[in-house]
Structures are given as structure tokens and as C-alpha cells.
Structure 1
Amino acid sequence: MIVPPPPDNVQKPGSSPRFKLFSPILAGATLKERLIGCLGALIGICLTGLVCGFIFGDDPQLPLIVAPIGASAVLLFAVPASPLAQPWSIIGGNTISALIGVTVSYFVKDQMVAIGLAVALAILAMSLTRSLHPPGGAAALTAVIGGAAIARAGFWFPFIPVAINSLILVGLGIVFHRMARRQYPHRPAVAPVNTHETADPPPALRVGFNSEDIDLAIARLNETLDVSRADIDALLREVELQALIRQRGELTCADIMSRDVVTVPADTTPDHARYLLLKHDIRTLPVLDENGKLQGTVGLRELAGKEPGSKLPIAVAATANPSDPAISLLPRLTDGMTHAVVILDDDEKVVGIISQTDLLATLAKSISQNGASEIMRGHGQGI
């Protein structure tokens, strides 16, 4: 059997890592993302200096902007998902560290001792206040060796200009990232929960890895990672899903969806919606607006306790495209809340629906066919 050579971007076993110009060090750090980060830093630093100049006047006693803010801008605009780049980390980390530096400088007169002590205590203070921010070490150091102007400012220095610089930079960062359609502040992934309020773990956690496995893996690495534990969990579950799509992603939503969909208009009464659900023995009804576009869904859960003549309760619908891999619906249809995914065309019109039963039947058939194929290949190879 001829084994094809590995692609150019795959490292061969036993070989040393190859350096490539402009190759990203961090996952997801594409050239586009880096250019966006450069633009954000340009705007953020310039506007921070401009605003501080307006606040402090033409002849400030202290610098308009301190050097650690430049390092904060690197984190804020280049790696906005990092726990070290969140608003409290930037504002709290810089301010607390500067306060530590001023305090150490006030009590410790030996500068060589003071510089080390200031940085060390800043790390401890940021860790205890959950505001760890690398530029905070520079803020503490600046408070000790910053010169006569900073020494005269004393305990005002952590607030003017450090805290003000940090507040303005974070505010500009939030606006910039929203305009660039990037999420900031970063919202950690929400762990699956058991919506039935029983002692059982949620379905997604009953098979495969769990939180204890992640903790043990991190402990064995014996390193501190610049990513939250919740994001590691979400990333690994997405890796599992993408591997499953690669292995069993030949079927699309269009292949398995029900096309004769029972729908209701938004002005339907709860009684009629309940009647249709029971008549057709289904758990989800897509609700359409006056233009025939999907407005949401309604099920027996939403209809429970609704009085006759009341307004139809409409829930947010889980949706997908006909060309999406059917297996990609697995996380949503096993979250304990979603009973069906509505399939929409490009005009947001309902063209089908896939229930938990539809996906389960598809998976069962796929596993059966793959098992039979393995047996046939085994016989063909003399096994």
C-alpha cells in the first residue's frame, strides 16, 4: 500500500517545528484578525491620549498616557477573548498594581528591593482580585521608577492617569469590537445543564469526557493556560462535533427533514395550537407571520396554563439550512429543551422540520450501515 506524503503544513514525526513568516502563534490569529487588532490599537491609543489631553489640560503635571496602556491595547485588540484582556482585568489590574507600586515606593526606600517587591505583590494582588493583567506589572514598576512627577503625584497616580487611561481604553475597545462584529467582553461558554431538575447529568455529559477529565488533563500539563476552563470545555465539544460531521456528515438536513410541516399563523389561539399538537402527535409548531416567514415556535410547554382567548406564546426557534449536515443538529436536539429544528430557505421560509426522532432514526441507520460495511471489508480481507 502506498502511503501519500503528509501535506506541507503538517509536521513530520521527529522533526523540529518549522518557522514560517507571519504564521500565527495563537489559534484563530489570522492575518485579517491581526489587521483588525492593529486598527483597533491605533484608534484606541490615539483617542485615549486625545481624551486624556482634553481632561488634563495643555500642561499636565503627569503624562497623558502611561506606557502600560500600550501593552493593555495589545491584549484588548489582539486577543480580546483572553481572560487577561477583559474589562476588569485591564481596569482593576492596572489600577491595583499601580497602587501597590506607589505603596511599596512609599515604605521601601531601597529601589532595587522596591522594584522586585512591587511587581511580586502586584501579581499576588491581581490574582486575589481576579484581575490578572500582564501590563499591571509594568504599572507597578512605573510607580516605583517613574520619576519625580509620579513621585509627587503619590497615591493619586493609580487613579490619574492610570485608572482614567484604562477606563477610556476599555470603553473604546467595547465600541470598536461591536462595530467590528466581534464579541467583547468575552462571554464564557455556558456549560450544559439538566433542564429537568433531576440528579442526572445533562445528556451531553453522560458520554465522553467530563469536567473532571479536563481538570486532570490541565493538571498533567502542569502549565497555566491563557484560556478559561469553560472555553476549553466548549472547544473540545466543538472538536467532537466537527469530527462527527467529518465522519458522518454525508447526509444533509434536506435528506432527512419532514417537508409537510404543520404550521400556524401568529394570531392562532392557544386552544387551536394545542389541538393541532395533539392531533398530529407532534411537540413543536412553527409560527409564521403575515408574510409567511418564521416568527418562532410553540409547543405544549409554552401552552401550559394558558387561558382560552389569550395570546399565543411564541418561543425562539432553533433553525438550520437545508444544506447543513444533519449530524450538526445533534447538540441542539440533545440539550433537553429543543424538540425540533425548523429548516429555512434563504428567504426565511419554512421548508422542513427535523425532530429528535428523525435524527435518532438517521443515526441508527448510519451506524447500522457503517457496521455492515466494516463486516464486508473484513470478509474481503480474509478476516
Structure 2
Amino acid sequence: MQLWNGWKPAVAPAARLDVLRVGLGACLALGLSAWLLQLPLSGTGVGHWALFAPLGATSVLVFAVHTGPLSQPWSCVVGNTVAALWALLVVACWPQSAPAWLLPAVAVGGAIACMQLTRSLHPPGGAVALLLALEAQHGVHHDWSYAFMPIGLLTLLLVLLAMAYHRAWGKHYPLQALPATASAKAQHLPADDLSQADLQALLARFDQDYNLTPQELGQLVRAAEEQAIARRFGSVSCGQVMTARPWTCSPGDGPAALAAQFQQHPIKSLPVVDGSGRLLGVVARGALFDWLWQQQQQDAGARRQQRSWRLWGKKPPAAATVTAAALMQDAPLSVEDSTPVSQLLEALAEHTVPFVAVLRQGQLAGLITRSDIMRILLH
């Protein structure tokens, strides 16, 4: 049963538009290449040029699997050329006493090794080496220039046509890192990024070195992370996880009332709301402590001034006081109660804020703290 499961299709079904795009691209590229070979090139020494069968396999890769590392321009052009050079070398140096049936095997095996050494592994390169070895067995011999023209040159032409064709369809070829979209950035959970060595080790662990590049794996990891976050938090709104009925203060509350609030409740800041429940700002506990410290430093001088006023028979001025309106600052972050929690993750990770105010129709409905976020993660 396990052996039979291995024969099931492993390639994902292609969309109809992709089927048309890939087939049309390969048809146009090979057709144009064949047409160029039919042009009158008398006197140029290229009358013996023709399409070679492995070029069809290269077209499959550059049009259907253009994001794979084996389909990139270096692998295509250098891989086919290096494989052809090795095969021509084997044919030229093959001793008469050696068995002829072994020639194709040595040509293909050595071509694979050469492509690996030049970091240009390209599956059609093995077909190039096999083709030249079989032609030599049937009396068709080529000189060294055949590896560059037409094999290298036609492969380069096919790659250039694929680059133009993919660009016309809005695709990226050769492979390049794609910038993250704004929505993806908003949902991304900043974590310790995996290094290139980590990504390469993961590819080697799952035997995917030749199927994905570290850049592609990194993009997949980030996309999977964003999708997981969106699925976990996308349906959860801030109104569902907020702490309702938070402790607040009025803009006219004095230091004693503010100090009593901070002493009674384990909080570091107080939202300031007006009579209609509209959020005006935030009073931090540190701001109140700073004001109290300054008042203590000024007490000694203030008492001396009061004694001087009394000696002259005048009424001393009233002591300075402060209200929540004077101590408050603007609320650092605020969201609507219908906002998905996923949109808060980036902001809470990048900014140190005591809480996020949750508004409903302009009025303060509740607060979201890091503890609320941690509670969601744990559940």
C-alpha cells in the first residue's frame, strides 16, 4: 500500500489560465527559435544549427517551474553548456578498447558532477550529454564549438524569451525576493528571523536542496506564519478580548483622587474621560509621581514665602494644585471594537504602550493590554 501511494500525483493541479500561459509560452519561444534558425545565414557557418531535443525539457522548466532553482538562467545556460563540454571530452578521449555501451553512462554521470561543481545543476543537461554520446555512437561527431553554438546560445535565447514572456504576464523571472505586502506586514509576528544557514539546514534536513532556495523557503515560512495568525486572530475582534469597564478618571480630578486610584488598583496609567465617556487622554503614574516630587522640593521655599507674606500682614497666595487634565498625555493607541486583533500584533510588538484603548462610537468601551494578548495565545 505504501509503495502504491508513492505513485499518486505529487504535482498540484494547475489553474486553467496557468495551463494556457505555460503552453503558449513554450510554443512561442521554441517556434521563434526555430524560425530564427531558418533565416538565410549563408556564409556565417551556422547552416548546421538546429534545435536539440533537451531544449524542450529546458522550456518545461523555464515556463512551468520558473521559480525553481534548477530553472534559473545560470543553471539553464551554464548547465547545458558544461554538460555538452564534458560529453564532447568523453567522446574525444574514449579509448577504442573500452566498451562502447559504457560511453553514455560516463557522459551523463560526469555531466551531473560537472554541473554540481559549477552550481548549475539542470536536468536537461543530463539529456544533452546523453544525446551527444548517442550521436557519437552512430557516427555523428561535433567539434568543441558545438557546446557554445548552438547549445549554449539557443539555451540563452530561450531564457531571454522566457524572461520577457513572464514579465509580460506580471511574473518574476529570474527568481527574486518579493517585498512583503502592507497587509502581510500588519499581520506579521516579529520573531527571530531564520538565518540563511538555518534555512539551508532545513532544506538539507528534508532533502529539498534542489527544489527550493533558502529565499523561497523564507518566503514560505513568513507566508505560513501570516496565514496562521490571520486564521487564529482574524475572526477575533478587539471588543471580544478587551477588558470592559476599566478604571478611569475625570479631567478635573486632583492629585489625591489620582493617587488613591493608583494605590487601590494595580495599574500604571489611567484613561481620562469626560462626562460623555469620550477618551481625552492618559495620566501615567510616573507623571503624577514626578509632579509630587517637584512639589516636595518646592515646599520649603513656599513655606518661607508664606511666612514673609504673613509678617507684612498680607494674605499668602493659594498653593498651586494640578488636575488630571494638566497631567494627561494623548492616548498612544486606540482602535474600534470591531478591529481584528491580528492588526494589533505588530503595533504591540514595536511600541511600548500601557494599553490600547478600544472605542465604540467614539466612547471608551474597554482596554486591551499585553496580558489580554497573552491570554489569547495561551488558549
Structure 2 contact 37–49 (Cα < 8 Å) conserved: no
Superposition deviation, residue 220 in structure 1:
3.6
Superposition deviation, residue 150 in structure 1:
8.4
Q: Write the letter of the residue equivalent to 2:142.
A: A
What's the CA shift string for 1:282-304, capped at 9, x where partnerless?
xxxxxxxxxxxxxxxxxxxxxxx
Among 208, 218, 230, which residue is 1:245 paired with? 230
CA distance in 2, matches of 1:359, 1:137: 63
Structure 2 contact 203–214 (Cα < 8 Å) conserved: no
Superposition deviation, residue 61 in structure 1:
5.2
Q: Secondary structure in 1 aligned to 2:176?
A: coil
Superposition deviation, residue 365 in structure 1:
2.5
What's the CA shift string for 1:230-251, capped at 9, x where partnerless?
2112201210111001111247
| Structure 1 residue 40 corresponds to structure 2 residue 25 | yes
TM-score by length of 2: 0.56
Q: Write the letter of the residue equivalent to 1:174.
A: M
Among 103, 113, 118, which residue is 1:114 paired with? 103
What's the CA shift string for 1:25-67, capped at 9, x where partnerless?
4458433223211111011110111112227559965341111
Among 32, 35, 52, which residue is 1:66 paired with? 52
Sequence identity percentage: 29
Instruction: Report what 2:265 is aligned to.
Output: none
| Structure 1 residue 141 corresponds to structure 2 residue 134 | no
CA distance in 2, matches of 1:235, 1:150: 50
CA distance in 1, matches of 2:136, 2:354: 68
Instruction: Report what 2:115 is aligned to.
Output: 126
Change (3 A) 1:104 1:374: closer
CA distance in 1, matches of 2:81, 2:40: 18
Instruction: Report what 1:221 is aligned to.
Output: 206
CA distance in 1, matches of 2:49, 2:138: 9
CA distance in 1, matches of 2:344, 2:165: 33
Q: Secondary structure in 2 aligned to 1:120?
A: helix
Change (3 A) 1:358 1:39: farther
What's the CA shift string for 1:134-188, capped at 9, x where partnerless?
0001111122222599844311211221012111101111110111110011114
Among 69, 75, 89, which residue is 2:75 paired with? 89
Instruction: Report what 1:163 is aligned to.
Output: 152
CA distance in 2, matches of 1:367, 1:18: 47
CA distance in 2, matches of 1:38, 1:114: 35
Using CA pairs under 8 Å that are at least 6 residues apart, name the structure with larger relative contact order, 1 or 2: 2
Instruction: Report what 2:164 is aligned to.
Output: 175
Change (3 A) 1:65 1:238: same
Change (3 A) 1:74 1:205: same
CA distance in 1, matches of 2:354, 2:206: 38
CA distance in 1, matches of 2:22, 2:47: 31
Structure 2 contact 70–210 (Cα < 8 Å) conserved: no
Aligned length: 260
| Structure 2: segments with no counterpart, 5+ residues | 181-188, 239-337, 359-366
Structure 2 contact 355–370 (Cα < 8 Å) conserved: no
Q: Secondary structure in 2 aligned to 1:91?
A: helix
Change (3 A) 1:371 1:181: closer
| Bigger Rg, structure 1 or 2 | 2
Structure 1 contact 241–328 (Cα < 8 Å) conserved: no
Q: Secondary structure in 2 aligned to 1:146?
A: helix
| Structure 1: segments with no counterpart, 5+ residues | 1-13, 192-202, 254-322, 340-355, 378-383
Q: Secondary structure in 2 aligned to 1:50?
A: helix
Superposition deviation, residue 219 in structure 1:
4.0
Structure 1 contact 150–157 (Cα < 8 Å) conserved: no
Matched ranges for 1:207-218 at <5 A: 214-218=199-203
Q: Write the letter of the residue equivalent to 1:103.
A: L
RMSD of equivalent CA atoms? 4.4
What's the CA shift string for 1:197-247, capped at 9, x where partnerless?
xxxxxx94427x665654554444345441112211220121011100111
What's the CA shift string for 1:323-379, capped at 9, x where partnerless?
996736967997xxxx8xxxxxxxxxxxxxxxx57998489938644666899x9xx
